[in-house]
Structures are given as structure tokens and as C-alpha cells.
Amino acid sequence: MTSKSETSEGAMAEYVTAVIGGQLFGLPISRVQDVFMPELLTPVPLASSEIAGVLNLRGRIVTVVDMRARLGLPKADDGKPPMAVGVDQRGESYGLLIDQIGEVLRLSENSREDNPVNLDPRMAKLAGGVHRLDGQLMVVLDIDRVLELVPDAKAA
């Protein structure tokens, strides 16, 4: 669910923006716990390539999901350290590895569109719609869909 409020334009939603592989994504701000620089990632034996590892974040064990791998993109080769967006699902903590964090955008729910038919299928399976911004498309990430692909998240 997104953080919604009523204004004269109608229902508004707030998104934390992130860039992954040059594409702008929006994460519903109500699902974002924190933003951090992941350090000391411990690999998880036999985990899928989408699991970058686990780390200790303020006393909690956090499973870190590599969003580039999730989207079928190659590893970043720009030499910049990745960032992570912390999210929770059913009491478990996850970090979504991203290339770069952006700003918080407040957009009208009326401007949100269904996934375009020509949206890359790898993005479409994780997207909950799009917003057309000046000169670019912001893909809204459906956090539940992102995490349902993680084997640990399937057990409810």
C-alpha cells in the first residue's frame, strides 16, 4: 500500500525513487523502512543468485536481494558501491540492492497507469504500474511481488 492523502487533485501517493540499471523505479514510501550502504555481506550457501547475502543491521539479520539479478540485468561495472532500501514483509527484514537512491516523489494516484504492453517482461512481473514523468517512465515496484520470488518469503 502507498502512503495516501487527499488533496484537491485527488488521492496522492508518495514514492522513494531508486535507479537500477539506468531505469527509474518508485517504491511505495509506506513499505520503506530505511536506506543504507550494505557492508560485510555474508554469502548464503546454495541460495539463488538473486540473494546477495545476509547482513546484520542494527541487531537484525537482513536478507539482501540483488535487484539487478532479480531484473535479469548484468552486474554494475561503474565501480560505485551499491545502496540498499530496507523493507519488511511478515516480520522479516530485507534489503533491496539498488544502484542509486533518488528523491521522494508525491504523485497523484490518477496519473498511475497499468503496465504498458511493451514493458520489459522482467520488469512487468515486479511492477504494479507506471507513472509517466517528464522525459522518463517511473516503474512502481510491487514489494510483495519482488519478495514472493524469494524462497524464504513463500512460507507464510
Phi (first) and psi of residue 14, to 5 degrees: -110, 140
For 36-83, the pLDDT digits (tens) are: 999 889 999 998 989 999 999 999 999 999 999 999 999 888 888 889
| SS3 state at 76 | coil
Whole-number average pLDDT of the chain: 88
Residue of 2, 19, 5 whose CA lies nearest to 71: 19
To the nearest 10°, report the CA torsion of 136, 71, 78, 17.
40
Tell me what pLDDT residue 10 has.
72
- The CA-based diameter of the chain, rounded to the nearest angstrom, is 52
Tell me what pLDDT residue 9 has.
54
**What is the value of pTM for the model shown?**
0.86
For 125-140, the pLDDT digits (tens) are: 999 999 999 989 999 9
> CA 83, CA 112: separation in Å to the nearest integer?
26
Tell me what pLDDT residue 15 has.
97
Q: Are 119 and 130 in contact (CB under 8 A)?
A: yes
Per 3-state DSSP, what percentage of the chain is helix, strand, and coil (rounded to 5)? 15, 50, 35
Q: Are 63 and 150 in contact (CB under 8 A)?
A: yes
